[in-house]
Amino acid sequence: MCAQQKKRTGSRQDLERHIEMSGSKKWATLTQKKKDLSESNSYREWRIGTPNSYSRMTAVEEEVPSWLNDGFLQEILREFLDDPVITVVQSSVKDAVAKGENFISKLYKVTVEFKDRREEYQKRSFITKILPFTEETRKIFSESSAFPSEIRMLSDTLPKMYSLIDKAAPGRYKEFGPKCVYFKDTSPFILMMEDLCDQGFKMAERRKGLNLEHCLMVMRALGRFHASSFVVQEEDPILAEFYKDNSVTEDATVPLLEGLLSFSLKAMTSAVESWPDVGATYAAKLRVRGETIMADLKKLMKPDGNPFNVLIHGDLWVNNMMFKYDEVTGGVQEIKFIDFQLTRYTSPALDLHYFIQTSPSEEVSVAHTDKLLKEYHKELSKSMELLGRGDKVISFQDLLDEYERKYLYCFFAIVIILPMVLSDPSDGFDLEMSLQKEDSTTKLDNDMAKNETLMKALKRILPILVTKGVI
């Protein structure tokens, strides 16, 4: 649970601004688009320090924010660990991910050495997420639901989801994601969470694709995630209103997404057009599909008459999950989901398409998609039964039908995410700089055409999209 949710005591009160209001009003204020949520929920924000220096950063000043210092970290640790006498000895801050591995946030790995109430020295690491540095991107995402949604997921909704599962089967399952350590839910947003690396979790190498063992674990975790979110939303129906939009459909970010879609689709079309025999045909189909893709995506992502809607992760690809392995056998033991900025209330089929089209190895994609869907449904059904909602679970046939109806989302994942998944890490994908440079599309054309793994994947996937009537 977040440090903000613990009761405040002692002399620290002069360091904080206490804001206590109903969850519905607080979160509605954040986005200015959300309707009132449940009046029964109560949230606290403890704003420790004022990161005014952040607002002075420019696109070229990618330095560590001055507010991310020992004093700030000491107060957060005292809250998070419920130890009012913690003293920070030293701290260090560095980029949390390599260039090209994160696309809409700035991530820092913060390592803190401190002395606790027992006079013992400890060392902890945390991941701190803030808005991008560049002025234009920061403006877009300061008006978006992306950060408020992730903050609420980590600080409130995910803990509720896990609590349901753990209450029904004590100790059997692990939490879905990292614990929230600190958040500031007004712009400029700040989110600090556990560094899962400290617990032995690792990211998979995205270009290799996940093997069957990893993919089956993802499906089981996703089944529990969707089932528990169904029950949480059923118990608090207005949550669906809060999570009704994400960055794919909301006004603040649609222009950016349209630009990215157009940028990537043009490059992909150009690369595909160079194929002998069939290239011109596929290129023409891609161009036609691109004319209406944004409007069609908006319709696709809205909850329809399907009675089984859930909170989807929304950005479920290999970079947004971490795995823990058995030290002896090397087998995968545990999974955590990360990055909940695109969470929304809609069809579970969207998460399934997004993951299956971007993250498994070629072997798994070709031979085991049905097995993945069956494993997902098996765990979904088991979890719904465990939570006392077995009569409300979608049937496997209905799931397959829903998966077919949502095939357009596969196109979105392929155009936006697949080139990132299969790109060379040394290239370092820079979203905003790519959109601003006139020669970027030509460069991306060449990069895609030269990427044999991507071209092989497209040669396998595009015929399927034609058969399904997507292009």
Average the pLDDT over 201-216 and give the result: 95
Average the pLDDT over 301-329 and give the result: 92
Average the pLDDT over 130-145 and give the result: 70
Check if the beta carbon of residue 343 is closer than 8 Å to that of residue 246. yes
Q: What is the rounded distance in angstroms from the CA atom of residue 345 to the CA atom of residue 392?
A: 17
Same domain, 78 and 143: yes
User: pLDDT (tens digit, 9 = 90+) per residue, 330-375?
Assistant: 999 999 999 999 999 999 999 999 999 999 999 999 999 999 999 9
Q: How confident is the model at residue 44 (pLDDT cuts 50, 70, 90)?
A: very low
Q: Which residue has the higher pLDDT, 376 or 444?
A: 376
Q: How confident is the model at residue 425 (pLDDT cuts 50, 70, 90)?
A: low
Q: 406: how many CB neighbours lie within 10 A of its CB?
A: 21
Q: What is the rounded distance in angstroms from the CA atom of residue 168 to the CA atom of residue 340?
A: 25
Type of residue at 425? P
- What is residue 143's predicted lDDT score, i.e. its pLDDT? 72
- What is residue 8's predicted lDDT score, i.e. its pLDDT? 34
Q: What is the dihedral of CA 250, 252, 255, 261, to 10 degrees?
A: -50
In sequence order, which residues have a C-beta less than 8 Å from that of residue 220 and are 6 or more positions away? 375, 376, 379
Same domain, 277 and 385: yes
Average the pLDDT over 109-134 and give the result: 90
Q: Which residue has the higher pLDDT, 442 or 4?
A: 442
87 has a pLDDT exceeding 50 = yes
- What is residue 131's predicted lDDT score, i.e. its pLDDT? 74
Using N-to-C axis directions, what is the helix angle for 452-467 and 440-450, rounded to 10°? 90
Residue 208 to residues 362, 440, 455, Cα–Cα distance (Å): 9, 26, 15
How many helical (H) and strand (E) elements, i.e. helices and strands, does the chain have? 19, 12
Q: How confident is the model at residue 386 (pLDDT cuts 50, 70, 90)?
A: very high
- What is residue 20's predicted lDDT score, i.e. its pLDDT? 31
User: pLDDT (tens digit, 9 = 90+) per residue, 269-285?
Assistant: 999 999 999 999 999 99
Average the pLDDT over 219-243 and give the result: 94
- What is residue 54's predicted lDDT score, i.e. its pLDDT? 31
Q: 409: how many CB neighbours lie within 10 A of its CB?
A: 25
Summary mean pLDDT of the chain: 82
- What is residue 253's predicted lDDT score, i.e. its pLDDT? 77
Whether 6 is covered by a domain: the verdict is: no
Total count of domains within the chain: 2
DSSP 321: E
Q: How confident is the model at residue 18 (pLDDT cuts 50, 70, 90)?
A: very low
Beta bridge partners of 184: 190
Average the pLDDT over 9-15 and give the result: 33
Whether 28 is covered by a domain: the verdict is: yes
- What is residue 320's predicted lDDT score, i.e. its pLDDT? 95
The position carrying tokens 């979160």 is 27
43 has a pLDDT exceeding 70 = no
Token representation of residue 85: 């006498």
437 has a pLDDT exceeding 80 = no
Least trusted range by pLDDT, from 2-11, 237-246, 418-427: 2-11
Q: How confident is the model at residue 442 (pLDDT cuts 50, 70, 90)?
A: low
Same domain, 274 and 398: yes
Average the pLDDT over 29-52 and give the result: 32
Q: Which of 149, 166, 183 is the last residue of a domain?
A: 149
Same domain, 134 and 251: no
Check if the beta carbon of residue 345 is closer than 8 Å to that of residue 239. yes
Same domain, 134 and 262: no
42 has a pLDDT exceeding 80 = no
Type of residue at 73? L
Whether 175 is covered by a domain: the verdict is: no
Token representation of residue 262: 């157009």
Same domain, 433 and 319: yes
Token representation of residue 95: 């980029």
Same domain, 110 and 242: no
Q: Which residue has the higher pLDDT, 4 or 205?
A: 205
- What is residue 96's predicted lDDT score, i.e. its pLDDT? 82
Same domain, 114 and 261: no
In sequence order, which residues have a C-beta less than 8 Å from that of residue 144 and are 6 or more positions away? 247, 250, 252, 253
Whether 9 is covered by a domain: the verdict is: no
Whether 51 is covered by a domain: the verdict is: yes
Whole-number percent of the chain with pLDDT over 70: 79
Q: How confident is the model at residue 50 (pLDDT cuts 50, 70, 90)?
A: very low
Q: 289: how many CB neighbours lie within 10 A of its CB?
A: 18
Whether 159 is covered by a domain: the verdict is: no
Q: What is the rounded distance in angstroms from the CA atom of residue 247 to the CA atom of residue 231?
A: 24
Q: How confident is the model at residue 428 (pLDDT cuts 50, 70, 90)?
A: low
466 has a pLDDT exceeding 60 = yes
In sequence order, which residues have a C-beta less than 8 Å from that of residue 63 and are 6 or more positions away? 57
Please provide the DSSP assignment of 62-97 as one string. Answer: -PPPTTSSHHHHHHHHHHHTT-TT-EEEEEEEEESS
Q: How confident is the model at residue 426 (pLDDT cuts 50, 70, 90)?
A: low
Whether 42 is covered by a domain: the verdict is: yes
Residue 243 to residues 31, 33, 301, 384, Cα–Cα distance (Å): 11, 11, 12, 21
Sign of CA dihedral 200, 203, 205, 210: positive
CATH of the domain at 264: 3.90.1200
- What is residue 365's predicted lDDT score, i.e. its pLDDT? 94
Q: Which residue has the higher pLDDT, 60 or 93?
A: 93
Whether a cis peptide bond, with omega within 30° of 0, leads into 148 is no
- What is residue 101's predicted lDDT score, i.e. its pLDDT? 55
Q: Is residue 366 packed enough to be buried (19+ CB in 10 Å), middle (13-18) or exposed (0-12)?
A: exposed
Check if the beta carbon of residue 110 is closer than 8 Å to that of residue 76. no
Same domain, 273 and 375: yes
SS3 212: helix
Q: 381: how many CB neighbours lie within 10 A of its CB?
A: 18
Same domain, 136 and 218: no
Same domain, 131 and 205: no
Same domain, 245 and 98: no
Q: Which of 116, 149, 182 is the last residue of a domain?
A: 149
266 has a pLDDT exceeding 90 = yes
Using N-to-C axis directions, what is the helix angle for 254-273 and 440-450, rounded to 10°? 50
Which residue range forms the structural domain that includes residue 65? 16-149
- What is residue 449's predicted lDDT score, i.e. its pLDDT? 85
- What is residue 53's predicted lDDT score, i.e. its pLDDT? 33
Least trusted range by pLDDT, from 24-38, 99-113, 267-281: 24-38
Q: How confident is the model at residue 12 (pLDDT cuts 50, 70, 90)?
A: very low
CA 50 to chain centre: 27
Whether 323 is covered by a domain: the verdict is: yes
- What is residue 34's predicted lDDT score, i.e. its pLDDT? 33
Q: How confident is the model at residue 88 (pLDDT cuts 50, 70, 90)?
A: very high
Average the pLDDT over 186-205 and give the result: 91
4 has a pLDDT exceeding 60 = no
